[in-house]
Structure 1
Amino acid sequence: MALQRAEKTAVSDHGGSLDAARALFADAPQPWVDLSTGINPHAYPLFDLPATAFSRLPEPGRIAELAAVAAGAYRAGPDVAVVPAPGTQALLPLVMRQVPAGRARVLGPTYAEHARCARLAGHAVEEVSSVDALFDADLAVIVNPNNPDGRSVARKTLLALAGHMRAKGGLLVVDEAFMDVGPAEHSLAGGCGAGGVVVLRSFGKFFGLAGIRLGFALGAPDLTAGLAATLGPWAVSGPALEIGLRALEDGAWQTRMRARLRAERARLDALLAAAGIEPSGGTPLFAFVRYPAAPDLFAWLGAAGIFTRRFEGRPECLRIGLPGDDAWPRLEAALAAWSARNQPADPAKEAEKR
């Protein structure tokens, strides 16, 4: 029984831990280049916050304003309610409890926390590989676009599944953590007001401010009201509230940043291709690689002080995020050295040397 409890509560490695990087590669050069997350390396510019953001509890009206701004930024429908929260991670256990414990199915492989939180809520969890397999579940979970391979599910399919869940009293959870840089036409934010579905949106990944902990749940008012009541007042900190309001209203910055991220992802793909590595998926924030020598590449880059994301049980897979401006030369050099080490010798050049 104790082992079962430990399995339910154990948090998997999700990348982003430089403590883990240092333990694996104690002699790596510093500073670390952390490419193990899908977080934008170009954070939204910070600004002087009012002193009251720190000295006073947030006013309910200000929280309501943040919810309204998020609804506009995510193009939520008029019948959709928005609940601000201290990150979508904090919302997951609450959302999973919105239906009685039963059969939970997660479209995978994907982010491990959905399955863990569903187990904590008492569900029997199964990872499935097709959307069709979700229709028999009481709780269905889709990450769209998916982390880590970038797979997208069409909005039409999601609406059909949501309607099915609504009719039988089940729940569809659509995690759109990377939809800020994903195919917006497949977002369900504008179609989740009828019930049977909760959409989660993460603030920190696209805006590069994961540390402030801010996220949102979108859905029918009767469903989201329970989430808001459980979170209670002042769930979102004053600084997070002020930064969220400014950034979500800054459409010009968002447009420029999406273009920049697409260009940098193309640059990353070109570097990988030059080293004989072809990405098989991802989003503008990261590349997903299936590569037979992935364990060796992970170790090679780690020894160079470049931390990528590997996956337990899938040794051939890596996720590689975008470097910051000053980190590109280190990644370029490490990949060039990897390529030189692994490319077969050119017989003609070898003959010339002799």
Structure 2
Amino acid sequence: MRDHGGDLDRARARFGGDDWIDLSTGINPVAYPVPDVLPARALAALPTAEDIAGLADAARRAYATSLVPVPLAGAQAAIQIVPRLSAVGRARVLVPTYNEHAGALAASGWQVAEVREPDALEGADLAVVVSPNNPDGRRASVSDLVALAGRVGLLVVDESFADPEPESALSRAEVPENVVILRSFGKFYGLAGLRLGFALAAPDMAARIAALAGPWAVSGPAIAIGTRALGDTAWRDETRARLRVDAARLDGLAEWAGWRLVGGTPLFRTYETGDAASAQERLARARIWSRIFPYSEGWMRLGLPGDAAGWARLETALSGGGE
């Protein structure tokens, strides 16, 4: 099932009301400050090769990578391209994880097996690992991923949630040429609607991805804002520090509510609640939307509130004051 967070339409249809706090995604609620006015040509002119190269260079420096970043309309656009990078065959996806990987591969004719142990990925024509994983925060070590690349045809590593903890990212390491790494811009920078992300790969593979994406794969506003944000090291450092503090604060509230931490990243936390459907309804009565999963009766994922009012409402709901 290709279900996702961010489905506030469903929350409103079921529970009513308009003043919702959406904690069903792992998107930074305190977004990078977008300038009030963009350069006129960002909207009026087609992006130039120089514009796109400047964005790619900003990504290369921000991710501290020797790979070639290919700008795309979000990590999702990269997921849609991945099935076309090699001949259709046997794909294996380490689960539980973001369901679009298996969905996109199956839609393109791949024979997809969802496996729960990393060793079961070996021998696949294409293997997918999400690290840090969504929703349980599982991390794969750089050494394990490099070793795995030698035992599969193409290895795709989704690092959409790696920005808050870059020190363990595979994108910073030297990797084999059969590795493609996906990075999201919108999650960490809180600008998901901008639709910007990157595929990082060796030069030949990067050229192939760019050809499949076609010309003008990203918009002028995305280029202008993305280039500026990726170069803002002060904002990046401050945001990483704030996210760590806020994640710990959320864990404290969840423990108070009697939930056990399953795992997560500084952008989201996943808890064992015992009864996820009931826990979701409890928060929904306070107009707080959360993410639950069809494969677990107990897991609930929560993003971070973005302001004092949001934290106060969540604290009240978890204490029972919102009922």
TM value normalised by structure 2 = 0.96
- Amino acid of the residue matched to residue 122 of structure 1? G
Instruction: Report how far residue 266 of structure 1 moved.
Output: 0.9
Equivalent residue, structure 2, for 1:155 = 142
Instruction: Report how far residue 17 of structure 1 moved.
Output: 1.5
The counterpart of 2:92, out of the listed 86, 105, 129, is 105
Write the distance in 1 (CA, Å) between the matches of 2:175 and 2:206.
10
SS at match of 2:218: coil
1:192 and 1:218 in contact (8 A); partners too = no
2:181 and 2:200 in contact (8 A); partners too = yes
Equivalent residue, structure 2, for 1:133 = 120
Write the distance in 2 (CA, Å) between the matches of 1:211 and 1:59.
22
Write the distance in 2 (CA, Å) between the matches of 1:285 and 1:336.
23
1:87 and 1:214 in contact (8 A); partners too = yes
Asked whether 1:223 is paired with 2:223, we answer no
Instruction: Report how far residue 293 of structure 1 moved.
Output: 2.4
Equivalent residue, structure 1, for 2:188 = 206
State which structure, 1 or 2, has the greater radius of gyration over its C-alpha atoms.
1
Alignment of 1:201-280 (within 5 A): 201-280=183-262
Write the distance in 1 (CA, Å) between the matches of 2:172 and 2:187.
21
SS at match of 2:210: helix
Asked whether 1:120 is paired with 2:107, we answer yes
Q: Which moved more, 1:256-265 or 1:294-303?
A: 294-303
2:247 and 2:266 in contact (8 A); partners too = yes
- Amino acid of the residue matched to residue 288 of structure 1? T
The counterpart of 1:337, out of the listed 309, 320, 323, is 320
Instruction: Report how far residue 278 of structure 1 moved.
Output: 2.3
Equivalent residue, structure 2, for 1:176 = 159
- Amino acid of the residue matched to residue 95 of structure 2? G
Structure 2 spans left out of the alignment, 5+ residues: none
- Amino acid of the residue matched to residue 38 of structure 1? G
- Amino acid of the residue matched to residue 90 of structure 1? A
1:81 and 1:193 in contact (8 A); partners too = no
Instruction: Report how far residue 193 of structure 1 moved.
Output: 5.4
Determine what percentage of the aligned residue pairs are the same residue.
52
Asked whether 1:313 is paired with 2:299, we answer no
- Amino acid of the residue matched to residue 15 of structure 2? F
- Amino acid of the residue matched to residue 304 of structure 2? L
SS at match of 1:200: strand
The counterpart of 2:73, out of the listed 86, 101, 115, is 86
Write the distance in 2 (CA, Å) between the matches of 1:260 and 1:51.
33
Instruction: Report how far residue 265 of structure 1 moved.
Output: 0.8
Write the deviation string for residues 146-175 of structure 1: whole angstroms up to 9, x where unpaired: 00000000000001111333xxxx100000
1:155 and 1:185 in contact (8 A); partners too = no
Write the deviation string for residues 55-102 of structure 1: whole angstroms up to 9, x where unpaired: 01111111011111101111111xx21100111111112112212111
Structure 1 spans left out of the alignment, 5+ residues: 1-10, 342-354
Asked whether 1:17 is paired with 2:7, we answer yes
1:192 and 1:219 in contact (8 A); partners too = no
Instruction: Report how far residue 222 of structure 1 moved.
Output: 0.9
Runs of 4+ in 1 over 6 A off after TM superposition: none
2:146 and 2:175 in contact (8 A); partners too = no
Structure with greater proportional helix content: 1
Write the distance in 1 (CA, Å) between the matches of 2:135 and 2:169.
18
Instruction: Report how far residue 203 of structure 1 moved.
Output: 0.1
Write the distance in 1 (CA, Å) between the matches of 2:75 and 2:280.
29
- Amino acid of the residue matched to residue 44 of structure 2? S
SS at match of 1:70: helix
Write the deviation string for residues 92-148 of structure 1: whole angstroms up to 9, x where unpaired: 121122121111100010000000111122211111111111112111000000000
Instruction: Report how far residue 192 of structure 1 moved.
Output: 5.7
Asked whether 1:196 is paired with 2:211, we answer no
Instruction: Report how far residue 294 of structure 1 moved.
Output: 2.0
SS at match of 2:302: strand
Write the deviation string for residues 292-324 of structure 1: whole angstroms up to 9, x where unpaired: 122211111112100000111312111011011
2:71 and 2:197 in contact (8 A); partners too = yes
SS at match of 1:164: coil
Asked whether 1:292 is paired with 2:274, we answer yes
Write the distance in 2 (CA, Å) between the matches of 1:185 and 1:32.
35
Equivalent residue, structure 2, for 1:44 = 32
Write the distance in 2 (CA, Å) between the matches of 1:36 and 1:291.
15
Write the distance in 2 (CA, Å) between the matches of 1:186 and 1:128.
23
2:15 and 2:284 in contact (8 A); partners too = yes
TM value normalised by structure 1 = 0.88
Write the distance in 1 (CA, Å) between the matches of 2:195 and 2:189.
11
Write the deviation string for residues 197-234 of structure 1: whole angstroms up to 9, x where unpaired: 10000000000000000000011111111110121211
1:176 and 1:199 in contact (8 A); partners too = yes
Write the distance in 2 (CA, Å) between the matches of 1:61 and 1:120.
35
